[in-house]
Chains A and B, each alone.
Chain A
Amino acid sequence: MRFSQVSLYLYLVLALVLASSMTVAAASTITIKMDAQAHTPTDNAEPTKENPNPIRAIRDIADEYEALHPDVNIEFIKVPEAQGRESWLQARMMAKDAPDVFWLNFDMTWNNYQKGWFKDLTPYLKRPNPYVEGNERWEDMFVEGILDAVRAPDGRIYDIAADGVGVGVYYNKSIFAEVGAKTPNTWSEFTDVQKRIQEAGYTPFVIQAGPNNVYMHWVDGIVQSQLIYDTFHQWDRDDNGFVDIPEVCLAVDEGAYPDVELMKEMWQLIKDWSQYWPRGFTSDIDVLQTFAAGQGAMMLEGSWALEMIKGLEPDFEVGVFQLPVVTKDLISEASEVPSRIYGPWGPGQWIIPGYLPDDRTEMVIDWLMFLAKPENIARLANDHGGAIPNITAAADAVSPELSGFMEDIPTQVIQGFTSVIDNTFADRYYSTMQLYLSGTISLDQFIEQSVRYYKEGARRMLRQNPDWRK
């Protein structure tokens, strides 16, 4: 009896010790939460009908990191894209419950860093990356100029851009062969090809200028960059090779931008082009489906769409070329220098919340340094299929299929992935553009209203960001 009582006490003590040690073990494991956007691992590891392109590389890399650091657990968080990143960001920042690393397009940080939402990552980029032999400063691993492209107007970097994306014209090689067309180099050749395709009964260019898309912003950016290539330096105050959002606002405020006459000529050109677009292009058309179904010969899309098209199993081969150059015979002020969209807008953009304590930030940075190893970035790029590494030593990982996005031509000189000012401006400007392209208002009315939106937008942004004037 006495023995069994002692045993019972011993069992109880043992159980308590075990429980407390388990609690200590659980408490010492740190979970880093990451929103890896399009690199987020999918539920299925093997291709399925519903999801033919499973994403798993980042999970494998995280497992390797966890093996090196048994006290760290990497958890991937899915952020619903339907909600809109602005709304998501605002809510998460107000609640201070964002993942430890999250994705945003770098230019979105420019409009929000003043609120203290993001950790300044500049000092961390000056440190050596311990996972890369011989590296003295982490920033040396990045493709030249890419970190300058994401640098905010205050000179700090809030976004580590490990990969980028490009935009190009996808074309249906079968339709081109059927009408005997080559990929065009000039706008006149482009028009001629589209005319022949239309005569053959296809929609020449599938694009939509409807709600919630960036197609027209891309068209605006590429064509405008071609036209202002010789003159944009007057607005490029920091001389970094492009006119970014603060520079646009300052130029508008001074009355130096936009060039109204040039703008008129550009939009007249785009209006003429719209005769080759699908019926109802101002409504919500599924561009990808229409193109993949073989109903349209070309479409303007990002490099990320390559895998999506493959998933739709088109019965034709797909090629990519860049939007042809506008020549002086069409617009006399044209620079005749082509332009393409390529930038650090990839799924590998890493941002850390500003409220994160320094000790936790250190742990997160360590994980990101591991993730940024060239071989890991190459694995991410291969897994995604449409991302182009911004880490120099991983650049070889670019798939040959993406070469059309990497043509050796200048990137656009007017920046902003969704807007050159802010989202209110984009909403007003592109809504008015819809009215112009659909023939509801005249070119003069469109330009007059647009200039007003430019001025209002610039005034609004400069008021919110007084440091931009410094």
Chain B
Amino acid sequence: MDLPTKRLARYQTSQKSLWQRAASRKTAYLFLLPTMLLLLTFNYYPALSAIYHSFTMWNGFTEPTFIGIENYVEIFTDPVMKKASSNLIVLALWRMLITLTVPVLVAELIFSVKGKLLQHWYRLLFVIPLIVPRLVTYLLWQFIYEPNVGLLNSFLASVGLESWQQTWLGDPKIALYAFMFMGFPWVDGVAVLIYLAGLQAIPRDIYDAALIDGTNVVNRFFRIDLPLIMGQVKLMVILAIIGVLQGFEGQLVLTDGGPGYATTVPGLEMYKQAMEYNRMGFGSAVGVVLFTIILTLTLINNKYLKSDVEYSGT
């Protein structure tokens, strides 16, 4: 087809109505239909339902009673939710810090390994822990932190540091920090892979040019690597925020949010209120608030955290 004919075909297509254009591509839409139906049923409908039920007193079974913004007032005045929110901020900052440091460092170290085979094995080494269920990790740390026979206190006793022994998850003053320390050395296999893929996509000639200019490792990291993996950084920041805001399984397994409310987070409160205490209306309201926060932070992240260096991927 020559150029004028192509233009004519495009012009004719643009003159068709939306329905006509959709009808002409009906096979594609039919293929999409099951996915869309599942999405609507299991993702959009529950989310919209949660927004509606957040304005009701509802136990999940009987007819909901409309109570206006009462659930939201409770969220913003309840001391437990305040404590949960402050814990969440601390955990989010901590997660951001470790997401932006340790996996980047590990990815850089693997990227610096010269031999391809060796690089492959190192990558495998950091990814293997991904197959261990998260629950196993939590139970392992529960054993490490056990105050009487746990690994950590036993180790401290064996090296003569009995005075350093603590009731790690049982002391409200240190429980949150003990919780944050869990997972040491905090190498997230997925994050390492994503950062590594970003580093491997950087064109070789940029490094060659930098080498000719006499750059050192630190300069290379801050002036080449980091700016060019900002897309990956942005993704990891979003994932970290979503992970922290939605995650509560660690608290559920290890502390139930305690002692007191030392380790609780809004997600855990949402789960307990909705699923254990039959307060589905209040749980929905907490969910809506969390959704709004995630959406806002994602938009901010997309707007302000940008990769200002472009390169050709060829």
A: residues with CB less than 8 A from B are: 84, 86-87, 90, 93-94, 111-112, 114-115, 117, 210-212, 278-285, 290, 295, 422-424, 427-428, 431-432, 434-435, 438, 440-441, 463-464
A285–B80 touching, CB < 8 Å: no
- Nearest Cβ distance between residue B13 and chain A, in whole angstroms? 48
B260–A440 touching, CB < 8 Å: yes
Residues of A within 8 A of B256 (CB): 210-212
- Nearest Cβ distance between residue A376 and chain B, in whole angstroms? 34
Give the distance in Å from the alpha carbon of A86 to the alpha carbon of B274 in the complex. Answer: 10
Let me know if B273 is at the binding interface, CB within 8 A.
yes
- Nearest Cβ distance between residue B45 and chain A, in whole angstroms? 15
Residues of B within 8 A of A279 (CB): 147-148, 167
13 A-B pairs in the complex with CB atoms less than 8 angstroms apart: A87-B275, A90-B60, A111-B278, A115-B62, A210-B170, A211-B256, A278-B148, A279-B147, A282-B172, A431-B80, A438-B170, A440-B172, A463-B57
B258–A434 touching, CB < 8 Å: yes
Q: How large is the interface on B (under 10, 10 to 19, 20 to 34, 35 or more residues)?
A: 20 to 34
B275–A428 touching, CB < 8 Å: no
**Of A114, A283, A464, the contact of B259 (CB 8 Å cutoff):** A283
B259–A282 touching, CB < 8 Å: yes
B148–A423 touching, CB < 8 Å: no
Residues of B within 8 A of A431 (CB): 80, 257-261
Give the distance in Å from the alpha carbon of A115 to the alpha carbon of B64 in the complex. Answer: 12
Residues of A within 8 A of B60 (CB): 90, 94
**Of A84, A285, A424, A438, the contact of B275 (CB 8 Å cutoff):** A84
Q: Nearest chain-B residue to A213 (Cβ)?
A: B256
Let me know if B111 is at the binding interface, CB within 8 A.
no
Residues of B within 8 A of A438 (CB): 170-172, 259-260
Residues of A within 8 A of B61 (CB): 90, 93-94, 115, 117
Q: Of residues 209 to 258 in B, which have CB atoms within 8 Å of A's CB atoms?
A: 254-258
Let me know if B169 is at the binding interface, CB within 8 A.
yes
Q: Nearest chain-B residue to A463 (Cβ)?
A: B57
A86–B278 touching, CB < 8 Å: yes
A432–B260 touching, CB < 8 Å: yes
Given the known interface contacts A282-B170, A283-B167, A284-B169, the answer about A427 and B62 at a Cβ–Cβ threshold of 8 Å is no
Let me know if B123 is at the binding interface, CB within 8 A.
no
B259–A424 touching, CB < 8 Å: no
Residues of B within 8 A of A464 (CB): 57, 59
13 other contacts beyond A283-B259, A440-B259, with CB at 8 A cut-off?
A210-B170, A211-B257, A279-B147, A280-B147, A280-B169, A280-B171, A283-B167, A284-B254, A431-B259, A431-B260, A434-B260, A435-B259, A464-B57
Give the distance in Å from the alpha carbon of A457 to the alpha carbon of B115 in the complex. Answer: 65
